[in-house]
Copies of this chain bind each other. A is one copy, B any other.
């Protein structure tokens, strides 16, 4: 495994791999790797000749009051974990190399980026789309792997790839969870024991929704109310949003349709830590 820090070096390695006819699998991460990331690396390993994982805490996707400065960093640990999944290259560029002086080009997936997470985190998906497009241009992957926990991110990046005819296929990995159901997130390390316990409300709310849905309820207002009630009953939790949306346009719907895939997603503050989770009804991302 090689750790690459320079954009130019990564681009030339990727060009060389392409020239040799090797398929490149790419797992973009912000480091602080957990089993969710590792499952994507394993998937990439199984599908591709060479696997590249990036570790880059992308400043442009954090808002001014968000946790950029305290986001966990430990490249040595991340590299060790990636090594266990037989990743071939870790790409860990500096912010200065990714955003040189005078940087001013951004990709926006309009509409989709302003809803759900985007409404709470203005500019977040502009930062995500831009850095992912740039990483794609550097790494030249055939396949790029993202987790379903960030469902809106997947939907936006698939749209971007299609709209701009990017020559890469997005592959989605299932959300990996702790035994008690908490979705893995690099932000879980922020949670002290009481908050860690309280964080289970996200999964409990989604379970409730699926249970009502399985029982035949298709009324979104009622499903949302039931989920809100669960979040509000937890004193350490503060609901940011819970929404039931069409998967194609992320617009809220009133009734869950028969066949169209439907995203049930929520964001909840547990203390000062903001967590997200989701389920998909009637299909997949």
Q: Which residues of A contact B (CB under 8 A)?
A: 7, 11, 15, 19, 21, 100, 102-112, 129-130, 133-134, 137-138, 140, 159-160, 162-167, 248-249
Q: Bound state CA distance, A140 and B140, in angstroms?
A: 12
Q: Bound state CA distance, A168 and B106, in angstroms?
A: 18
User: Distance (Å) between the CB of A166 and the closest chain B CB?
Assistant: 5
Nearest CB to that of A157 among chain B residues? B105
Given contacts A165-B7, A165-B11, whether A105 and B129 have CB atoms under 8 Å apart is yes
Instruction: Identify A160's interface contact among B19, B105, B112, CB under 8 A.
Output: B105
Given contacts A164-B130, A164-B133, whether A111 and B104 have CB atoms under 8 Å apart is yes
Q: Bound state CA distance, A285 and B13, in angstroms?
A: 30
Instruction: Say what secondary structure dominates the interface of chain A.
Output: mixed
Residues of chain B with a CB closer than 8 A to A111's CB = 104
Given A106-B108, A133-B164, A134-B163, 7 new contacts (CB under 8 A): A102-B248, A105-B108, A105-B159, A106-B107, A107-B107, A137-B164, A137-B166
Q: How many copies does the complex hold?
A: 2
Residues of chain B with a CB closer than 8 A to A248's CB = 102
Nearest CB to that of A139 among chain B residues? B165
Instruction: Identify A163's interface contact among B103, B159, B162, CB under 8 A.
Output: B103
Residues of chain B with a CB closer than 8 A to A164's CB = 105, 107, 130, 133-134, 137
Residues of chain B with a CB closer than 8 A to A19's CB = 21
A104 touches B112 (CB 8 A): yes
Nearest CB to that of A7 among chain B residues? B165
B104 touches A110 (CB 8 A): yes
B110 touches A137 (CB 8 A): no
A159 touches B102 (CB 8 A): yes
B102 touches A109 (CB 8 A): no
B107 touches A163 (CB 8 A): no
Question: Which of A103, A104, A111 gathers most chain B CB within 10 Å?
Answer: A104
Q: Bound state CA distance, A248 and B21, in angstroms?
A: 39
B105 touches A105 (CB 8 A): no
A137 touches B104 (CB 8 A): no
Q: Bound state CA distance, A102 and B112, in angstroms?
A: 10
Question: Which of A19, A107, A130, A162 gathers most chain B CB within 10 Å?
Answer: A107
Q: Bound state CA distance, A163 and B7, in angstroms?
A: 12
A107 touches B110 (CB 8 A): no
User: Distance (Å) between the CB of A96 and the closest chain B CB?
Assistant: 13
Nearest CB to that of A105 among chain B residues? B163
Q: Bound state CA distance, A19 and B103, in angstroms?
A: 32
User: Distance (Å) between the CB of A152 and the closest chain B CB?
Assistant: 14
Instruction: Identify A107's interface contact among B7, B21, B105, B165, CB under 8 A.
Output: B105
Nearest CB to that of A163 among chain B residues? B105
Pairs across A and B, CB under 8 Å, 29 listed: A7-B165, A11-B167, A19-B21, A100-B163, A102-B159, A102-B248, A102-B249, A103-B163, A104-B109, A104-B159, A104-B163, A105-B107, A105-B108, A105-B109, A105-B159, A105-B160, A105-B163, A105-B164, A106-B107, A106-B108, A106-B110, A107-B107, A108-B108, A133-B164, A134-B163, A137-B164, A137-B165, A137-B166, A140-B167
